[in-house]
Structure 1
Amino acid sequence: MRILFAAFVFLFSTVALAETKPTEVRIKWKGDYPHNSDRHWSKDNPYDSGFSKNFKNGAPEEFGEVQKDGELNGFIYSPGDAKGSVPFVILLHGCDGLSTLTNEWTQHVADVLNSQGVGVLVLDSFTTRYVDRTCGLADLHWGRRRADDAYSALDYLIDQKLTKADDIYIMGYSNGGTTALVSVTTQEADHPRAFAAAFAVAPGCSPSLQHSAMYTRPIIIFMGDQDDANSPKWCHELAKQKRSVPVRMIEYQGANHGFPVNAPAHESMGWHLSYNPGAEKDMMQTVMSAIRTKKFVTGVEVRLAPE
C-alpha cells in the first residue's frame, strides 16, 4: 500500500510540475523603515545588523559587500482558472536558497495551492545578492534580513493588483520559517501593509523570538519532534507564551527537519533529513483550511502523521 501511495505521489508530482509555468518577475527591494539602521554587519553586531537599510549589508555570506539598493527574483504561480483577485502565499526557501530540491518543493507547494485557487509567489532572497547559503549561526540574522524581502514582495503583489491587501500569507521552510516568524513581530509593524497570517515550517524559534517578540498576526508552526536542525522545544516555548494573537504549533511524531521535502533520506551538516509524506500532506491541508476559513487557534498539538 505504501509503495502504491508513493508511486501515486511521484506520478502526480511529475505531471503537475510538467504543467506548471511560473512567471518570473523582478521585485524592487525596500528597506528604508524606522526599525532598520545604517550599521553594517560586524562580529560585534552579528544579529541586529539584520535590521538593515541596505540591500547588502556586509555579512560574511555577502563577502563583506555593502549595497544600498537592489532587486529580488520572484516566480509567480497563478491558478489556471482564476477569475479576479485570489489569495496569495509568499513562499520562502531555506538556508540553501533555491537549490534543486528546494525548487522542487516550492513547485509542489505551488501546485497544491493553485489547485485550491490560491496563488503563490516564490521569493528568491539569494541569487541577486550572490549568496550561496546561510546555514548555521547566521539563521537569525538572515531571518531578519529576509523579512523586508517578504514585505517587498507583498507590496509588489498589491501594487500589481494581483490580490487584495488583506489576503496575502507568508510561508517559509527552515530559515524561511524563521523569516515568517520575524515578519509578523511588532519590530516589523512599521510596514504600511501586513500579512494575513504566517505559516512557519521547521523554523528556528530562537530565544529572542520566544520571549521578547510580540506578534501581530496569527501563526501556525509545523515541526517534526525529531528535528535536530532547529529545536522543537524552543518552538514549544514560543507557542505556549500568552499572546494577543493565536499562535499554534503542530508537531508531527517521528518526523524530522526534512519532512516536507520529497527527497531520499540523507544528512546535511549533521542534521537528519527525510521525507514524511503523511506529515507533508496534513500540513498542506491545514494551510489550505486556514486560508479558506480564516480561522486560527492557540496551542500545541501533537499529531501522528497519517499513512
Structure 2
Amino acid sequence: MSSFIGASNKLSQEMKRMCLLIFVLFSTAASAEQVRIPWKGDYPHNSNKPWSKNNLYDSGFSKNFKNGAPEEFGEIQKDGELNAFIYSPRETKGPVPFVVVLHGCDGLSTLTKEWTQHVADVLNEHGIGALVLDSFTTRYVDNTCGLADLHWARRRSDDAYSALDYLIEKKLTRADEIYIMGYSNGATTALVSMTSQEIDHMHHFAAGFAIAPGCSPSLQNSAVYTRPIVIFMGDQDDANDPKWCLELAKKTRSVPVQMIEYRGANHGFPVNAPAHDFMGWHLSYNATAEKDMMQTILSAIKTRRFTKGIELR
C-alpha cells in the first residue's frame, strides 16, 4: 500500500511540473487582440470597374471592397472591414516597430494561424509588434489558390495599407517603422505594395519581406519599387518558380532588392508542419532556412540596413 501511495505522490508531483511547464509556455507566448479594420480603397490608382474575364489585369485595382470576382461569387460591395489580430510586445511603453503579416492563398487556415503565431512570438521577443491581417473571412472568400496572377495581390495591397493606417491612427507605431511581410500570395501582395502604383497612399511601408512569392513576368517587368525588399525562396519551390524572382532581383533598381535562396527548400519551408502535398505542390518545413529567415528579418528591422543582389544559403 505504501509503495502505491509513493507512486501516486510521484505521479502527482510530475503532473504539477507538467502543468507549471504548460503555464510558463503559454504565459510567454504572444496573445492577440482581435480588431476590425475599416477598409480603404478610394485612391486614384483604383477604379469602379467590377471584375470580368475581359479585364483580368486591372480588375485588382478596385475601389470596391468586394469587386465581383469568382471567389466572391460575383458580389460587389463598396465598403467593408477586415479582421486582424494584433500582437504587441509585453512590457513595452509607447510606439514600437510593427510588421503587417499576410497569409497565403488559403487564408488563415489552422497551419497558417500557427505560423503567424510563431512569427508574432519571435517578433515580440525582440520588441517588435505584429498585425496578422485576414483578407478573406469578411469577404466570405474560401481561397484564391491556383495559377499565379496579380488580381488578389492587387486587391490585398489596399488591405495592407488599411492595416498600416490603422496602426498609425491608434498610435501603436510610428509611420516610418511599419514593415510588410507575406507568405506565398501574401508575399506577392507585399511586392505589389512596394511598387510605384501604390504611391498615392499617404503613408508607406519601410520595407517589404516576401516569402515564396509569385514573381510573375508581368510583375517583374513593370514594377518600379519605392522601398527596400527582401525575397526569401527555396530553390526547390514548385508552386512559384524561383527563376522569375531571380530575374526580378537581377534587374537594376533605385532601391535595394535582395533575394535569399535556400538550398533544398521548397514552398513550405517556413511553416512547421509535416511534409504534405497541396494542389500538387510539395510542402515541407526546413528549420534551418526558417530560422535564418527570421534572423535576417529581425536584423534588417533593427539596423534598417538593406542590401541588393542574390545569395544562396
Is TM-score (shorter-chain normalized) higher than 0.5?
A: yes
Question: TM-score when scaled to structure 2?
Answer: 0.91
Q: Deviations over 1:144-163 (max 9, x none)?
A: 00000000000000000000
Structure 1 consecutive aligned stretches of length 4 or more whose deviation exceeds 2 Å: 14-20
Distance 2:122 2:292 in 1: 12
Structure 2 counterpart of 1:204 = 214
Q: Tell whether the 8 Å contact from 1:139 to 1:175 is kept in structure 2 after alignment.
A: no
Decide whether the 8 Å contact of 2:181 with 2:209 is kept in 1: yes
Q: Does the 8 Å contact 1:95/1:139 carry over to 2?
A: no
2:35–2:83 CA contact under 8 A, matched in 1? yes
Matched, 1:226 2:236: yes
Kindly provide the CA deviation profile for residues 215-268 of structure 1, in whole angstroms up to 9, marking residues without a partner as x. 000000000000000010000000000000000000000000000000000001
Partner residue in 2 for 1:64: 74
Is the alpha carbon distance of 1:17 and 1:209 closer, same or farther for their aligned partners in structure 2, counting shifts above 3 Å?
Answer: farther
TM-score computed with the length of structure 1 as normaliser? 0.93
The letter of the residue matching 2:59 is: S
User: How many equivalent residue pairs?
Assistant: 292
Q: Find the counterpart in structure 2 of residue 270 from structure 1.
A: 280
Q: Which moved more, 1:239-248 or 1:77-86?
A: 77-86
1:297 aligns with 2:307: yes
**Aligned alpha-carbon RMSD (Å):** 1.4
- For residues 179 and 16 of structure 1, the distance between their equivalents in structure 2, rounded to whole angstroms, comes to 32
Q: Which residues in structure 2 correspond to 1:17-56 (within 5 Å)? A: 19-56=29-66
1:97 aligns with 2:100: no
Counterpart of 2:225, as a letter, is Y
**Structure-2 change in CA distance of 1:239 and 1:277 (3 Å):** same
Aligned residue for 2:183? 173
Q: 1:214 to 1:257 in 2, by over 3 A?
A: same
Could you tell me which runs of 5 or more consecutive residues in structure 1 were left unpaired when the two chains were aligned.
1-10
1:80 has 2:94 as partner: no
> CA distance change for structure 1 residues 205 and 159 in 2, over 3 Å: closer, same or farther?
same
Deviation at 1:84, TM superposition (A): 1.2
Task: Kindly indicate whether the alpha-carbon contact (under 8 Å) linking 1:17 and 1:111 is maintained by their aligned counterparts in 2.
Answer: no
Q: Residue 152 of structure 2: which of 119, 142, 151 is its match? A: 142
Residue matched to 2:137: 127
Consecutive unaligned residues in structure 2, runs of 5 or more:
1-20
Structure 1 residues 51 and 166: CA distance shift in structure 2, 3 A: same
| Cα distance between partner residues in 2 of 1:209 and 1:49 | 15
Tell me the secondary structure at the aligned position of residue 278 of structure 1: helix
**Which has the higher Rg, Structure 1 or Structure 2?**
2
User: Identity of aligned pairs, percent?
Assistant: 76
